[in-house]
Amino acid sequence: MATVSEALSIALDHHIAGRVAEAETLYGRILEAVPGHPDASHLMGLLLAQTGRVAAALGHLDAAVAGDPASATHHLNRGKVQDALGQTADAAASWLATLRRQPDHAEAAERLAPALRALAETAFDSGALASAAAIYERVLALDPQNLSATFDAAMAAKGLGRLDESARLAGLAARLDPTLLRARMAEAEARQALGQTEQAIAALRPALALDPAQAGGWASLCLLRSDLGQRGAAVVAGRRAALAAPSDTGLLVRLAAARQIAEKPRAALAAARRGLSLDPASAELHLALGAALDAVYALEDAGRSLERAGRLRPGDAAALAERGRLCERAGLAERAVALLQRALAMRPDDGDSWVALGRAALRRGDAARAGRGARWALRLTPGLPAGLLLAGAVREAQGADGEALALYDRAIAAAPGVGTGFSRRAMLLLRRAVGDAPPPRQASGKRRLSVSTLGHAGRFGNQLLQYGCLRVCAERNGMELETPDWIGRHLYGLDDPLPGPPLPSLHEEDCGVPALLDGRVLANADGRDVVGYFCGDTAPLAPHRARFRALFTPVGAVAERAAAALDGLRARGRTLVAIHLRRGDFGLNDRFWIAPEGWYLDWLAETWPTLDQPVLYLATDAPELAERFARYRPVLAGDLGAPLPGAEFFTDHWILSRADRVAVSNSSFSVTAAMLNPALRAALRPDRKTARLVPFDPWNGPVLLP
C-alpha cells in the first residue's frame, strides 16, 4: 500500500499533466486518510481554484495555512483566492504574512501594493483618514515610487491636519511627476498653512509655469508675496489672478488689498471699482473701496462706501470697525467710540480697532481708557507698532516721559518708516535739551489750510517737504497754515496755529503741487487738510526756493550748535565735501534702495585731487562705514560735539546743507539738505542705470528715485 507521500506525488503528477479528475480523486483520498494534511489541502485548494470553484478552494487553503503556518507559499496562494473572492483585506493580510516569512518574495510584494491601495481608497472615501494614512504608509514602504499612493497619502495627511507630512508627500509626488499640477498646488497650500512662505512660493512657481491661467494659484502667490513684504510682486500676482478670471470679484478684492498694502491706493481704487461694476452689492468690494478712499484721504467718499457696506451686511464687525477707524482718523471721536465698541463686542481680537478706540479716548482726554486699548492691542499682537505708539502717548500724557520714550524707541525699531514714533521721541527729548518750542500763534481768521498728518507721515526730510510746500502754498493764497506739534517748532522756531476743527481732506495727487502753489485748486476753497509726501518733482517749488530756505533757519541753542559744528569743520580745510550714506531703515524694500559705497568712493577718487584742501564729512546712521573711507580721513557728527538729544541727525543734515559739494543718497533727508544749501557748487546722486553717481539739480527733479 502506497504511503501518503507517494500518493501525493502521484496526484501531483496527474495535476501537472492536466488530469484534473484523477488528481482531485487522489487529493480527496489523502485528506480522508489524513484530514487537514497541509500539502494535500494546499494542492486541492489550488486545483479547485483553477477549475473555477474558488469558494470551495478557500477552506482547503485555510487548512493548509493552519497545518503549516510557516509556509510562505500557502499564505501567498490563500491570498490569491481571497482576492478572487473580493476579500481584499484578507488577501492583503495573507500577502503580508508571506512577506514576513520570506521578505524578498517579489510576487507577494507586487500583489500586496495594489491591494493595500484599494483598501486605503476605501478607507479614505468612507472618511476613515487615519486608517487610510496608515495603509498608504505600508504601500509606500513596498513601492516608494508609487505616484498615486504618494499623492493620495498627502491628501489623507492634509485631512488629518498633519500638514508637515502632507507638504512632504505632495512635494515627493511633484518630483515623481513634475507635470502633476495638483501635487504642486497641494504642497503650496500645505506650506502656506504652515507659514512656510518661501517654500510655498517655490512650490507655486512651477505650478504656474504649468498652467499660467490658473487664477487660484496667482491669488495664493499674491498673498504669499504680501506676507514677505514683496509689495510690487504681490501686486503683479494679484493682477495676473484678476486677468485669469476677470469676472471673479473675490480676486479683485484680493488685488485691491495687495495694492493697498503696496501703498498704491489709487490702483486699489481701480480694482475695487472694477469689481463693483460686476457686483454692485458686494460688501467686501465696498469695504475695499472705502479703505482705498481712506488711504487717499477722500474721507467723505470713504465714509459713504463704508456706510453702504454696513447696510449690505448689517452688524458686520469688519464694516463697523473700518467705519470706526475712519471716524477716529477724521477726528470724530464720539462717533468712532460708538462704532468701535460695537465692532469689538463682536470681534475682540481686532488689535487695530483697540488702538483706534484708545486714540479716540485719548483725544477725549481719557488716558486711562486709552491705556486699556493699548494693553488689549499689545496683548493680542505683542510689538504692534500702533499699539506701542498709543501706549507711549498715554504714558506721555500721564507725565511718565521715561516710559514713553522707551515705548517710542520700541515702535521705531518695529516700524522705522513710521514717522510718529520718531516725532514723539524727538519732541520729548528736545524739550529737555533746548526748552519749549514757541507757543503757537492764535489763528488770524484767514482761510485755513491744514496739514494734520505732519509728524506722522514720513520722517525729518519728508516733514520739511510737507511743511515747506504747504507753507508757501498758504502764503501764496492768502491762507494760514495750521500744523500739529512737530519737530520744526523746536529746531526752527515755527509757531503756526494748531489745527482747528477738522477740514475736508485733499490729497496732493488730486491737485498736484503746481496747482497747490499757484492757487488753482484752493482759490475758492473754504479750507482743506492737505495730505501727501511731496516727494515728486521739485521744479514747481523752485521759484520759491528763497522762501523755502528761509523757513528752515535754526534758532536759539540749535543755531548755536549748528554754527559751532560748521566752524569746527571749516577749520579743517577749505573745500567741504559731504556724503550721505543712509542705512538703518533703508534697504527694506525696492523703493528705498541703497547705493553701494563703491559708487561714492569712485567719485571721490576722481574728484578729490582737483579740490583745494578738501575735508570729507560723512553723514550716516552707520558710522562703521567710515572705515571704507579711511584714506580721506572722514569727519563724523560725533567728532564735532555731542549730538542734539532727540535730533541726533541734525548735525548731519545741517552740514549737508552747508557743504560745497554734496553726494546724496536716495533719501529725502539728504535731498532736502541739498535744497536748503545756498552755496552748493556740485550735487550728485546715485543712478542705478549707470551704477555711479551723476550730477543733479535738487530743484529740478524727483526727490526719490525709482
pLDDT for residue 664: 96
Is the model's pLDDT at 1 over the cut of 50? no
The Cα 574–Cα 556 span in angstroms is 27
The phi and psi torsions of 173 (rounded to 5 degrees) equal -60, -40
Which band of pLDDT confidence, cut at 50, 70 and 90, is reported for residue 4?
Answer: confident
Largest CA distance in the chain: 136
By mean pLDDT, which of 3-12, 399-408, 551-560, 573-582 is the weakest? 3-12
Best CA proximity match to 632, nearest among 663, 657, 654, 653:
663
By mean pLDDT, which of 73-82, 369-378, 456-465, 561-570 is the weakest? 73-82
Buried b (16+ CB within 10 A) or exposed e, 55-94: eebbebbbbbbebbeebbbbbbbbbbbbbeeeebebbbbb
Hey, is 12 helix, strand or coil?
A: helix
Q: Where are the alpha helices (DSSP H) in 381-418?
A: 385-397, 401-414
pLDDT for residue 96: 65
**More confidently predicted of 270 and 92:** 270
* Residues 6 or more apart in contact with residue 404 via CB below 8 angstroms: 392, 393, 395, 396, 424, 428
C-alpha cell at 522: 484752493
pLDDT for residue 585: 62
pLDDT for residue 205: 83
Average pLDDT, the chain: 86
> Read out DSSP for 355-387?
HHHHHHHHHTT-HHHHHHHHHHHHHHSTT-HHH
pLDDT tens-digit series, residues 377-395 = 999 999 999 999 999 999 9
pLDDT (average), residues 400-428: 91
By mean pLDDT, which of 249-253, 346-350, 404-408, 574-578 is the weakest? 249-253
pLDDT for residue 236: 78
pLDDT for residue 151: 83
pLDDT tens-digit series, residues 201-240 = 888 788 878 778 777 777 777 777 777 777 677 777 777 8
Is the model's pLDDT at 705 over the cut of 70? yes
State the DSSP H helix or E strand holding residue 83, giving kind and residue range, or none if neither: helix 72-84
Best CA proximity match to 511, nearest among 470, 549, 567, 480:
470
**More confidently predicted of 470 and 149:** 470
Cell 481680537 belongs to residue: 349
pLDDT for residue 265: 81
The Cα 220–Cα 235 span in angstroms is 12
Contact 449/480 with Cβ under 8 angstroms? Answer: yes
pLDDT for residue 608: 96
Contact 665/652 with Cβ under 8 angstroms? Answer: no
Q: What percent of the chain stands above pLDDT 90?
A: 41
> Read out DSSP for 577-623?
EEEEE--TT-SSSSTT----HHHHHHHHHHHGGGSSSEEEEEEES-G
CA torsion angle for 229, 235, 238, 240 (degrees, to 10)?
-130
Is the model's pLDDT at 590 over the cut of 60? no
Is the model's pLDDT at 445 over the cut of 80? yes
